[in-house]
Structure 1
Amino acid sequence: MDEFETIARLFAPLTRGEPGALGLGDDAALLAPRPGFDLVLTKDAIVGGVHFFPDDPPAAIGAKLMRVNLSDLAAKGASPRAFLLAAALPPAVDDAWLTAFAAGIGADLDRFGGALVGGDTVSTSGPAVFSLTAIGEVPAGGMIRRAGALPGDLVCVSGTIGDAALYVAHRLHRAEVAQIDQLEDRYRYPRPRLALGAALRGLAHAGCDVSDGLVADLGHICAQSGLGAVIEAGAVPLSPAARETLARRPALLPTVLTGGDDYELVFALPPEADLAALEAVCPVSVIGRFEQGQGVRVLDRAGSPLKLDRTGWRHPVGRGDGSR
């Protein structure tokens, strides 16, 4: 298929009847926020060899592209409205691969909502690169920001932490892990916490999603709020697979805390918040508190500071290939 055949056959059906998409036949889409709502815009890109492995199924890559962006909307308390896709495709990507990739996106549009309203496809001699612009809606004035945490607020996190990072450590460094299939599933298919994000509107003082590592992303909230935070490593929620892995290999704890790819939410709650109501939506764990100061302190089970070589993943912009 050429570019226009690809758009007509694979991507035009993903407009899901959104009139502003104009059938993907124009140079741009046309959207207006609903009365009483703000638009929330975000963009994440994924690169072959950096954010996904070359042998990952194409449908899983499409799903991951959707979900890393949906996670950003969730962190802001927003609901998905529309998406714009840019794809740089190497020669190895054939029609069957692209069909499966588009099916992965379509399945998540059906599951989470929203519509594809535009984008671009180009060829490249390098790895496959996919970029998605996600447009969400939130009640006017209701977006959750990184800034706003208060001293004494609880540091809370959704779901479990570390599965995807342990899977990457296994793939890249042959780290011994337990229940590899479970870790792989968490890496390939993040769980965007859209329902929890909506429940946090007007309740959480600040929040963001955990993409580059729990300690690093909590640090972003601290920096924007002008505070520090202390968390207990023993309180960080773990899946059975991660718990079993750490029982065998305690030295992998820093990987769990800083490895990233969790796409859970970390947020600041006032101490009087009704945690039970949130847990009815999604598992939530209290792992520490915000305090006066700077940065994030991590305490081990004995209450002593845990030394970490890094706080999270940072892309080396302009240097090398950026691979993990």
Structure 2
Amino acid sequence: MPPHPPAAASPGEGPLPGEFGLIARHFRPLAAPEALGLLDDAALLDPPPGRTLVLAADAMVEGVHFLSTDPPDTVSRRLLRTNLSDLAAMGAEPLGYLLTTAFPRGTAESVVAGFAAGLAEDQRLFGLRILGGDTVSTPGPACHSLTILGTVPPGAALRRDGARAGDDVWVSGCIGDGALGLAVGQGRLPPDPGGHLLRRYRLPDPRLALGIALRDVARAAMDVSDGLVQDLGPVS
């Protein structure tokens, strides 16, 4: 993790520490032993014996994938859960992840603290830890990228090309809730009773247990992100 210039703090708050101070304060407590305390240039990871590695990556840009009004902890949890959903679609179990954060200059340290707290919560829920990454500042909107690592037994991954003509198509969950929740957050729809749609947008539910259970049942699987009809194209 080479150093980068620290971002300035918002008025009324102390300045953000430098990169190494920021990592030590907010991200080192999240690190796996293989991350070497986030003090080295890379992590050292021995894959579990007899398992195949599964890797996926997603990025989120403020104003495109999340809103400036979203709580920082939900931004990080949404980023992690989006990647976990990719593992679930492959029938994989999570192992760890790499994180790159680009916070705008002027970001308050409380925002970074909230972002890290969200990661800590979902690390406990889903049983994985951070392995490394990078932190930078940016003059533009916030942008965060996460690369996730998982494992499956050899030959057990659920691939899209396993589908065959005549196969049934099954869906878990309710398609469209996340898009409706985003519209609520943008003010394009009125708030829904109980805030269900907003929660579905901010905290998608990665169905890891279902993906694992389907390894010996389904021939193909995928994470629905752009709508059922559009996403079925790659498996048809």
TM-score by length of 2: 0.89
Which residue pairs with 2:142 in the alignment? 128
Which residue pairs with 2:58 in the alignment? 44
Q: Secondary structure at the match of 1:80?
A: strand
Q: Secondary structure at the match of 1:97?
A: helix
Assess if the C-alpha contact under 8 Å between 1:167 and 1:180 holds in 2: no
User: Which structure has the larger Rg over C-alpha atoms?
Assistant: 1
Which residue pairs with 2:214 in the alignment? 200
Which residue pairs with 1:162 in the alignment? 176
Where in structure 1 are there 5+ consecutive unaligned residues?
223-324
TM-aligned CA deviation for residue 113 of structure 1: 1.1
Instruction: From the two aligned structures, give the one with the greater strand fraction.
Output: 1
TM-aligned CA deviation for residue 212 of structure 1: 1.9
User: Given the superposition, is the C-alpha separation of residues 23 and 198 from structure 1 closer, same or farther in structure 2, using an over 3 Å criterion?
Assistant: same
Q: Secondary structure at the match of 2:162?
A: coil
Assess if the C-alpha contact under 8 Å between 1:166 and 1:177 holds in 2: no
Q: Secondary structure at the match of 2:149?
A: strand
Aligned residue-pair number: 220
Q: Which amino acid aligns with 2:43?
A: A
Q: Distance in 2 between the 1:178 and 1:104 partners?
A: 24
Q: Distance in 1 between the 2:98 and 2:192 partners?
A: 38
Q: Which amino acid aligns with 2:25?
A: R
Which residue pairs with 1:28 in the alignment? 42
Which residue pairs with 1:237 in the alignment? none
Residue of 28, 38, 42 corresponding to 1:12: 28
User: Given the superposition, is the C-alpha separation of residues 170 and 13 from structure 1 closer, same or farther in structure 2, using an over 3 Å criterion?
Assistant: closer
Which residue pairs with 2:159 in the alignment? 145
Q: Deviations over 1:40-62 (max 9, x none)?
A: 00000111001111000000001
TM-aligned CA deviation for residue 174 of structure 1: 2.2
Which residue pairs with 2:103 in the alignment? 89
Q: Deviations over 1:25-84 (max 9, x none)?
A: 110111121111001000001110011110000000011011000000000011110110
Q: Secondary structure at the match of 2:160?
A: coil
User: Given the superposition, is the C-alpha separation of residues 51 and 142 from structure 1 closer, same or farther in structure 2, using an over 3 Å criterion?
Assistant: same
Where in structure 2 are there 5+ consecutive unaligned residues?
1-16
Assess if the C-alpha contact under 8 Å between 2:184 and 2:190 holds in 1: yes
Q: Distance in 1 between the 2:137 and 2:185 partners?
A: 28
TM-aligned CA deviation for residue 178 of structure 1: 4.2
Which residue pairs with 1:275 in the alignment? none
Matches within 5 A, 1:1-324: 1-15=17-31, 18-172=32-186, 174-175=188-189, 178-179=192-193, 181-222=195-236
Q: Secondary structure at the match of 1:110?
A: helix
Identity fraction in percent:
54
Q: Distance in 1 between the 2:187 and 2:235 partners?
A: 31
TM-aligned CA deviation for residue 210 of structure 1: 1.0
**Higher RCO (CA 8 Å, separation ≥ 6 residues):** 2
Greater Cα offset, 101-110 or 199-208: 199-208
Q: Secondary structure at the match of 1:208?
A: coil
Q: Distance in 2 between the 1:159 and 1:106 partners?
A: 25
Q: Distance in 1 between the 2:187 and 2:105 partners?
A: 29
User: Given the superposition, is the C-alpha separation of residues 180 and 161 from structure 1 closer, same or farther in structure 2, using an over 3 Å criterion?
Assistant: farther
Q: Distance in 1 between the 2:131 and 2:102 partners?
A: 18
TM-aligned CA deviation for residue 171 of structure 1: 4.4
Q: Distance in 2 between the 1:103 and 1:178 partners?
A: 27
Assess if the C-alpha contact under 8 Å between 1:37 and 1:139 holds in 2: yes
User: Given the superposition, is the C-alpha separation of residues 164 and 140 from structure 1 closer, same or farther in structure 2, using an over 3 Å criterion?
Assistant: same
User: Given the superposition, is the C-alpha separation of residues 172 and 95 from structure 1 closer, same or farther in structure 2, using an over 3 Å criterion?
Assistant: closer
Q: Secondary structure at the match of 2:169?
A: strand
- CA RMSD across the alignment: 1.4
